[in-house]
Structure 1
């Protein structure tokens, strides 16, 4: 049965022919009567469950409903509802992971990371609850909660004389909201935080099915004076065309390359060429996922700018950051450029 694929392709093609030339990628969930439900409501629930599975597998796909999806969907729904309640109650917390210079080890920045501890589910990892929020359409609320808490911490550290940058993750949902850069600027100014003390990280998924809004929003972020980073570079969809056209100031090379560089000449060349690309474009290159001294030494030899990973430090609560930074070896160092 090939018609679901034809539907997805037709929807994508018709969008591309629209006068505004917006690109859309469509996913399709399919439920069949009577096997998957006897009522319209049952069939819609089954089709929606299949649609979520299709989206999880990658955009532009289709998925038929399977009976085993029902139990998994109920578990996801319970988790989603618990997470939504936690976000509304302000129960998510923020941890911070340091970013240090590969040259002298001085602390340059910290990245704000969401954490969720549920009384019943326990500590739920971000790679579990962030997809739930994306699926439920409220990941923007998590971004906002994390951002407000992290900005408050940064303002407190600055008053104590700790001058480091703060990296904030922005979901595709947040980036595409009109006025994102303007709101961020207002929030920073309210805390006397200069825009150049903030780096907004976006993953490469923001470039999939990109419409008129996302590039404009990214340009506005750069135009307001904020740093702009491509996160997990090398694992997604970013092309050099976007790197060239948009005001990115930083590339964060995915953690797989930190591990691979010490094992594979091919991965070493990818890291080396990415660092060279960043240097020629005036961009800072961060390598994530550094976990042992051998990786750190090799990345230093490859001329990486900044490093982040468990070897440096695990994510920590805000009240430990200042003491850790002072004990580790310095308050800050200026990033190249």
Structure 2
């Protein structure tokens, strides 16, 4: 058997863009023959997948999977919305959500867990799908919530199919109230979260940096009014309370009735159920948030193609 040198692995990587371990395996499978290894990688879809991995994947789907006291939300990206409507892609996202649920939303554990019925890991299955479907894809994130007693409710906004769409929300309610009551309340709060995108659950949970940034902006605005410092201080206090009402879930006005605080909605539901109900957490994943989409310059692309680049 031919010796697989580091230089040979590097040469194959340069030719195909495939990962180091994939190149070593290809060379081992083909007795060190470079061109046969290139073909082997192409046949496996690996070279094709790696080549596409540089493209921005900001479309795709977010999905939820729940089971009683546990739930997860995941995001799997593709390059185009067209692929998000592909049944093969949708089935993969659903399976990944199921694997994530079994792993309590742990991203790394899910990525390296067995993908159902293939003998591959989730990460390897995504690479396989890239080669098959022909677009870059990325398992971007996974988040889980759980409670000791109660439910984790879910909601999908702009659903493409059941359990998958553009915005995924989980809401965790800790309670011994009956499941029907909790499901109704949880679904309504999840819809509210989808609409308002709160920054935190409570005032105490709010990121200090966000609060400090807002406070500095308000101070500068108040100073421009020319009012004395003692008046400015009172103005800031009032505006900070207003800020809490805008970004803190429990302080927000419930979008469904337009007048009651979310905290009061939960309090009223607890009185009706005769059991304490506590909102202990929420997750909101919006598809593609935070991903910088590349602005394509069509003229430059045509020029590069004409130049043979």
> Which range, TM-score by smaller chain?
under 0.3
* TM value normalised by structure 1: 0.24
Which protein shows a greater Rg?
A: 2
